[in-house]
Amino acid sequence: MKHALIVGGNSGIGEDLAKRYTKDNVKVIGTYRQTPGVLTESSSGVDFYQLDVTNPENIDSFIEYLRDREYRWDIIVFSVGTLEPIGNFYDLDFNQWEQSYTANYFGQLRVMHGVRKLANPGATVIFFTGGAPSGVLQRFSAYSVAKIGLTKMVEYLDVEDKEVKYAIVGPGWVNTRIHEQTIAAGEDAGSNLQRTQLFLEKGEVGTPLQDIYGCINWIASKSKQMVGGRNFSVVWDAWGDKKGSEDLESNLSHDDNLFKIRRFEG
């Protein structure tokens, strides 16, 4: 039986992943910060651990919990994060900004640093990106800059670690609870407030959750040389059986710079 760790198993995406993994006979440990959510009601086979990625002592306890169980994982997905604080950088409380960066970046890497020795050979690590990493999502600097940092760190980790595969995935717009933070910020969210309101008012689903799961499984099934250290878009990239998938896989196999942070002239 395969084993999956989902850091943020009570988030919208993490919760769905836990359900799909258990349905596919994968043993799941999911973490939650405050409440396990509906997983306790609908997902048998999931073990839970309360984890705040901004709390180093809590992280150390989680690592010890896994070691005591002699736990070994095949895939870990980091589905934690916060959009807050939202607003212009100089209008924000810097302590809150720093705390957000810790949740979106340092805390996740601290967890990864601790669980690495518990990985099975050929394991896969998945982070999530967002916040216009190739552009500027105004008034969401803590979230966006942390995601850019993760995107680059994935490349470093994949180069330095010869036994584990690392990738980062952009899920696109997904109708989950995280958008409540944008609504709560009101005018401080700038133009993204109206965009989010329209998305929610129309009841749009956004990226189908099964596509996120499918993309992650596709990455896990491919070689480290092909997908390692790269940033994939669930919506826009021709992964899996999408049209153009053969061309994509060929390009990935021959271009080590593809889907990585680079500066190109022209």
Q: How confident is the model at residue 202 (pLDDT cuts 50, 70, 90)?
A: confident
Q: For residues 84-109, give the mean pLDDT.
A: 98
Please give the pLDDT value at position 10.
87
pLDDT of residue 264: 79
pLDDT of 39 higher than 70: no
Task: Report pLDDT digits (tens) over 114-170.
Answer: 999 999 999 999 999 997 666 788 999 999 999 999 999 999 999 999 999 999 999
User: What would the pLDDT profile of 1-25 be if each residue is shown by its tens digit?
Assistant: 999 999 999 889 999 999 999 999 9
Residue 172 pLDDT grade (very low, low, confident, very high; cuts 50, 70, 90): very high
Name the least confident of 32-36, 73-77, 81-85, 247-251: 32-36
Is residue 83 very low, low, confident or very high in pLDDT (cuts 50, 70, 90)? very high
16-21 long-range contacts, Cβ below 8 Å, gap at least 24?
Answer: 16/209, 16/212, 16/213, 17/77, 17/79, 17/212, 17/213, 17/216, 18/43, 18/46, 19/43, 20/210, 20/213
Angle at 171 (CA atoms; ends 169, 176), nearest 5 degrees: 135
Query: Can you give the pTM of this predicted structure?
Result: 0.95
Superfamily of domain 3-254: NAD(P)-binding Rossmann-like Domain (3.40.50.720)
Alpha carbon 144 to its chain centroid, in Å, reads 13
In this predicted structure, the answer to whether residue 259 has a pLDDT above a threshold of 60 is yes
